[in-house]
Amino acid sequence: MTGIFAPRDDGYVDVPLLPGERVLRQQQAAYLKGGQSLVGGMLVVTDQRLLFRPIDVGMASKLLNDGIEFLPDGLAQLGKLAGKLIGYATDTVNGAAGAVPMATIVAVEPGMDAGAHPSSLVLTAEDGRRIEIGISASLFTPIWSKKSDRVRDEIVALIRGQLGG
């Protein structure tokens, strides 16, 4: 894939920094919809924006599509179906990539605490849109682990600091 959201070699879809933009923190995260993880990735807090860099699934799609020609007929059909599903997942992931300028955020609040639900934060944009992001303490810590609440609170404080409050 080429373009603004091209894959990077770190396993996440790239969301380029603006000239002079500084990264303040990066954290494992998941874009949530209805309290459920929709897309895993990396939340990047900069001095100008919040970026969401989804996990890049494009390589899996390429490997599967390239390998289909070597499969027997029955498996090739299954491989083609799996390829279409991964293509759909790739489109979904790339659709989640993006940036929210700090200037358009009017509030950030802790969302749910970890436990039955993922540890999350909720952004409110000036247009009224609410975005929920699940926060993970580390790559191998699930977003519903209690360890993630402390990390979420640190990120909320950092974003509030960037908003001037």
The confidence score (pLDDT) of residue 115 equals 62
| pLDDT digit string, tens, across residues 68-114 | 555 555 555 555 555 555 555 555 444 456 788 999 999 999 987 66
Burial profile 86-115: b = 16 or more Cβ within 10 angstroms, e = fewer: beebbeebbebbbbeebeebeebebbbbbe
**Residue range(s) defining the domain that contains residue 124:** 23-56+97-163
Query: How many domains is the chain built from?
Result: 1
Check: pTM over 0.95? Answer yes or no. Answer: no
pLDDT at 11: 78
CA distance 120 to 79: 36
List of the chain residues with pLDDT < 70: 1-9, 34-38, 57-97, 113-116, 165
Q: What is the CATH number of the domain that holds 151?
A: 2.30.29.30
Q: Let me know if residue 34 belongs to a domain.
A: yes
In a domain, 83, yes or no: no
Residue 108 confidence (pLDDT): 95
Residue 1 has what pLDDT?
40
